[in-house]
Chains A and B, each alone.
Chain A
């Protein structure tokens, strides 16, 4: 069974067809069709591997494409099936035969090229800053896109704070992974990440020459593009810091898996030094700041809980905020339907999956003041869903709240005693 030529397909072998993964799968819950279930997709992938179904079979492609790649199924599987590995190999084989769909090629191309990406971000920020994004957000397809953009707005403009100082023992250096969407639209989250890490004793360094992590390309089956980006990141980050800190769960999952993607010892070593920001903060305590009196709901991103298996740390970070009343709503552990560029390619399924989450938030009592999640795609997706449902609830990254707590403690005030 340890046959390397089988690639990720071998990871599907332990599946005993018990069906425990069905209720964990957002697409199966949305359609009730086993072709949209993990167990059904495993049958399809096995048939693909054995050559019983062709890589260009449209029905096979449709149902594997409709998979969010959220790996919620792995989190429910008692048998330890490596669904994600299998999917990766299946998608690679399909892409090698039929190529990427034109829409996917276009979207992915934007992420991979600075000269397309920069103007796209500038335009997006213009829509956001002029308030047009908020004005046009709504339930239609275009309205939803504007809603996603609007969801990236920092929760309130603050005067530029004074750089903080450490309030904990020194813990080593970290290099911030900036990413593409995070860097373009969530620079406020990067700021919060830097400040909170500094307070907790870390030295944050900036690394030049870094690029998009390539997770979106990898998930779509374009491994060549993913590898090319990964190589540039390895070159940029190697030897720069003790850890690479990531505040986007999707990027973190890919970067932790660099060894698997590239197969080189450097990539392996670098992958091992990758941490989600909440892991580093939790390792430091984190330091307790001032009160933030809010009702908050936490929604763990799939790429944090299933792909990285990080469960406790984000909660530990939020628990360190005095006054914060934290809840997880029913179905919080299920995918929001964002899943990288999935929302752009399969808007109908994506929205069907999101609707359940928005309904749970709408039904929550008391209503939350903020919904927290640690991934840009999820922030935009849930934010847009709330916008479409006319629920005036902002979304935020957990470190933004910790940052707010430190601000409340006065640690960023120019006047604060050092």
Chain B
């Protein structure tokens, strides 16, 4: 049993019904990790609210009792963000999964936070609309989690990440009060509070109702698969395409290790396993524009040294090409039982060199590093495969991760493109932010949550908050 105060458990049970308060060891343990199981932490209690009123009542209760809490969606996050410890209550929002309304004329949808990303696009499809942000985890992750992480995805190259698609939010703040941010019609006056909340990683409150923009499904879509004899050639073609002014809907790269894992899985997409890298390019828009851009892109790819280019136009053929990319991360389990997925952004022009460095780091530490990433945004995802039971190996993985991060920062990049900081990237924050910036982040956090009870001990290293002054970097 958990060490939770029985009185608190009773009070939570009175709000949601005892069945939805999880205090037994086995049950709490199933919430010990998110998509990055290198971080594990068993919550004091998990409480699953079924309605907005219940969430508000829970947050109020915890505020009164001075108990910290963490919101959780589907737990697919890759930064250890949705984890709570033995003093902290976890609030999974998965039961709140209703689409409250779709307005096809205004192209808006209002949803509860637990709605799974892919479900929204399915529900909007009959109206010829879709929800653009498509993280690779879209089949499982919740839009509440997307809002908290400002999730991106392959198609965010053209359409922008989550923040570009959320127009209004109803949130419960850490003190239990209710606030409406933004407005469904568009830009409200004053500071962009929606923009502030999106990407706040669960520190500013819980999103209860989310109003998003829906986009018309494009008239024509073409997906190209090009394969290359070297990773460098593939990344150079990315530079050429973007420099030409074409904005593909998506531009994704998978290297050989990754291609092989995918091809061995049930999501085999027919990628050539002897290629050093494959590039997926998607073009969408009017039929004429797609035709013209396809010709240009094919030329850039050939000039950069593509060995073959395949083109998929039917929905099924495109879906198959995409399946492989979207399930690539999961397929890594075929290489080794454990996996660290890194997430960093570098300027596109630095891609070829940074990738060389990553290969070199892998060789030096004798690690399998598989790359699959949003090449168009320079958003890298090196996946390091290992076995957690080997302690020495774990240490090597940790050191290699750190070196890769440092190389990305040295190339003018950042430590996270879309997975957030959570618990995992906290130690890297001082690599890119000076103490004053970190202190400012703490100040903003405290404006929402003076006691730091919402998702405590994550994102901003606490020492920058506790001591309210600049401090030398370690």
Interface residues of A (CB under 8 A from B): 1, 13-20, 22-23, 31-35, 37, 39-41, 43-44, 47, 53, 57-60, 63, 75-81, 330
Q: 11 other contacts beyond A17-B34, A79-B265, A330-B122, with CB at 8 A cut-off?
A: A15-B337, A17-B35, A18-B329, A19-B74, A31-B95, A33-B22, A34-B94, A40-B31, A53-B29, A63-B30, A80-B266
- Would B27 and A16 count as touching, CB distance under 8 A? no
Contact of A32 among B27, B48, B122, B328 (CB under 8 A): B48
Q: How far is the CA of A35 from the CA of B48 in the complex (A)?
A: 12
- Would B333 and A34 count as touching, CB distance under 8 A? no
Chain A residues, CB < 8 A from B382: none
B92 at the interface (CB under 8 A from A): yes
- Would A20 and B330 count as touching, CB distance under 8 A? yes
Q: How far is the CA of A77 from the CA of B327 in the complex (A)?
A: 9
Chain B residues, CB < 8 A from A32: 48, 92, 94-95, 97, 114
- Would A34 and B30 count as touching, CB distance under 8 A? yes
Q: How far is the CA of A252 from the CA of B351 in the complex (A)?
A: 52
Tell me whether A78 and B75 are in contact in the complex, defined as CB-CB below 8 angstroms, given that A18-B35, A19-B137, A57-B26 are known contacts. no
Tell me whether A44 and B332 are in contact in the complex, defined as CB-CB below 8 angstroms, given that A19-B140, A22-B140 are known contacts. no
B267 at the interface (CB under 8 A from A): yes
Interface residues of B (CB under 8 A from A): 22, 24-27, 29-37, 48, 74-76, 92, 94-95, 97, 114, 116, 118, 122, 137, 139-141, 262, 264-267, 327-334, 337-339
Q: How far is the CA of A18 from the CA of B141 in the complex (A)?
A: 10
- Would B333 and A79 count as touching, CB distance under 8 A? yes
Between A and B, 11 residue pairs with Cβ closer than 8 Å are A18-B35, A18-B137, A19-B137, A19-B141, A33-B22, A53-B25, A59-B24, A77-B266, A78-B265, A80-B265, A80-B333
Which 7 pairs between the two chains have the least Cβ-Cβ distance? A79-B333, A40-B30, A78-B330, A32-B94, A14-B333, A59-B26, A78-B327
Q: How far is the CA of A43 from the CA of B338 in the complex (A)?
A: 14
Contact of B26 among A13, A22, A60 (CB under 8 A): A60
Of all chain B residues, which has the CB nearest A46?
B29
- Would A78 and B267 count as touching, CB distance under 8 A? yes
- Would B35 and A35 count as touching, CB distance under 8 A? no
Q: Which of B27, B33, B264, B330 has the most CB of A within 10 A?
A: B330
Contact of A16 among B32, B114, B139, B330 (CB under 8 A): B330
Tell me whether A78 and B48 are in contact in the complex, defined as CB-CB below 8 angstroms, given that A17-B35, A40-B30 are known contacts. no
For residue A196, give the distance in angstroms from its CB to the closest CB of chain B: 30
Chain A residues, CB < 8 A from B97: 32
Contact of A13 among B30, B114, B331, B337 (CB under 8 A): B337
- Would B27 and A63 count as touching, CB distance under 8 A? yes
- Would B333 and A78 count as touching, CB distance under 8 A? yes
For residue B119, give the distance in angstroms from its CB to the closest CB of chain A: 8
- Would B33 and A17 count as touching, CB distance under 8 A? yes
Contact of A19 among B31, B76, B267 (CB under 8 A): B76
Chain A residues, CB < 8 A from B262: 78
Chain A residues, CB < 8 A from B266: 75, 77-78, 80
Q: Which of B30, B31, B92 has the most CB of A within 10 A?
A: B30
Chain B residues, CB < 8 A from A63: 26-27, 30
What DSSP secondary structure best describes chain A's contact surface? loop
Chain B residues, CB < 8 A from A60: 26
- Would B332 and A16 count as touching, CB distance under 8 A? yes
Q: How far is the CA of A15 from the CA of B32 in the complex (A)?
A: 15
- Would B29 and A79 count as touching, CB distance under 8 A? no
Chain B residues, CB < 8 A from A79: 265, 330-334
- Would B22 and A35 count as touching, CB distance under 8 A? yes
Chain B residues, CB < 8 A from A43: 29-30, 32-33
Contact of A35 among B27, B114, B122, B140 (CB under 8 A): B27
Q: How far is the CA of A373 from the CA of B94 in the complex (A)?
A: 31
Of all chain A residues, which has the CB nearest B327?
A78
Q: Which of B26, B27, B48, B264 has the most CB of A within 10 A?
A: B26
Q: How far is the CA of A63 from the CA of B22 in the complex (A)?
A: 12
For residue B58, give the distance in angstroms from its CB to the closest CB of chain A: 15
Chain A residues, CB < 8 A from B75: 19, 34, 39
For residue B6, give the distance in angstroms from its CB to the closest CB of chain A: 17
Chain B residues, CB < 8 A from A58: 24
Q: How far is the CA of A38 from the CA of B99 in the complex (A)?
A: 25
Q: How far is the CA of A77 from the CA of B267 in the complex (A)?
A: 9
Q: How far is the CA of A35 from the CA of B23 in the complex (A)?
A: 12
Contact of B76 among A1, A14, A18, A76 (CB under 8 A): A18
- Would A20 and B92 count as touching, CB distance under 8 A? no
For residue B7, give the distance in angstroms from its CB to the closest CB of chain A: 22
- Would A17 and B331 count as touching, CB distance under 8 A? no
- Would B334 and A80 count as touching, CB distance under 8 A? yes
Q: Which of A15, A20, A31, A60 has the most CB of B within 10 A?
A: A20
Chain A residues, CB < 8 A from B94: 32-34
- Would B116 and A23 count as touching, CB distance under 8 A? yes
Chain B residues, CB < 8 A from A23: 116, 118, 139-140
For residue A328, give the distance in angstroms from its CB to the closest CB of chain B: 14
Q: How far is the CA of A53 from the CA of B76 in the complex (A)?
A: 24
- Would A15 and B29 count as touching, CB distance under 8 A? no
Q: How far is the CA of A249 from the CA of B223 in the complex (A)?
A: 38
Contact of A81 among B30, B141, B333 (CB under 8 A): B333
Q: How far is the CA of A35 from the CA of B31 in the complex (A)?
A: 8
For residue A159, give the distance in angstroms from its CB to the closest CB of chain B: 45
For residue A263, give the distance in angstroms from its CB to the closest CB of chain B: 26
For residue A126, give the distance in angstroms from its CB to the closest CB of chain B: 40
- Would B37 and A35 count as touching, CB distance under 8 A? no
Contact of B330 among A37, A53, A77 (CB under 8 A): A77
- Would B338 and A16 count as touching, CB distance under 8 A? yes
Chain B residues, CB < 8 A from A39: 30, 75
- Would A44 and B29 count as touching, CB distance under 8 A? yes
Chain B residues, CB < 8 A from A41: 30
Of all chain B residues, which has the CB nearest A41?
B30
Q: How far is the CA of A57 from the CA of B27 in the complex (A)?
A: 11
Of all chain B residues, which has the CB nearest A58?
B24
Q: How far is the CA of A58 from the CA of B27 in the complex (A)?
A: 10
For residue A71, give the distance in angstroms from its CB to the closest CB of chain B: 12
Chain B residues, CB < 8 A from A35: 22, 26-27, 30
Chain A residues, CB < 8 A from B34: 17
Q: Which of A18, A22, A23, A43 has the most CB of B within 10 A?
A: A18
Q: How far is the CA of A17 from the CA of B329 in the complex (A)?
A: 10
Of all chain A residues, which has the CB nearest B331?
A78
Of all chain A residues, which has the CB nearest B1?
A59
For residue A56, give the distance in angstroms from its CB to the closest CB of chain B: 11
For residue A43, give the distance in angstroms from its CB to the closest CB of chain B: 5
Q: Which of A32, A47, A76 has the most CB of B within 10 A?
A: A32
Chain A residues, CB < 8 A from B114: 32
Of all chain A residues, which has the CB nearest B20?
A33
Q: How far is the CA of A59 from the CA of B339 in the complex (A)?
A: 29
Tell me whether A44 and B30 are in contact in the complex, defined as CB-CB below 8 angstroms, given that A34-B75, A79-B265, A80-B266 are known contacts. yes
Chain A residues, CB < 8 A from B33: 17, 43
Q: How far is the CA of A44 from the CA of B262 in the complex (A)?
A: 27
Chain A residues, CB < 8 A from B267: 78
For residue A1, give the distance in angstroms from its CB to the closest CB of chain B: 8
Q: How far is the CA of A273 from the CA of B187 in the complex (A)?
A: 67
Q: How far is the CA of A79 from the CA of B327 in the complex (A)?
A: 9
- Would A47 and B337 count as touching, CB distance under 8 A? no
Contact of B339 among A16, A31, A53, A80 (CB under 8 A): A16
For residue A327, give the distance in angstroms from its CB to the closest CB of chain B: 16
- Would B35 and A19 count as touching, CB distance under 8 A? yes
Chain A residues, CB < 8 A from B265: 78-80
- Would A20 and B48 count as touching, CB distance under 8 A? no
Chain A residues, CB < 8 A from B35: 17-19
- Would B25 and A16 count as touching, CB distance under 8 A? no
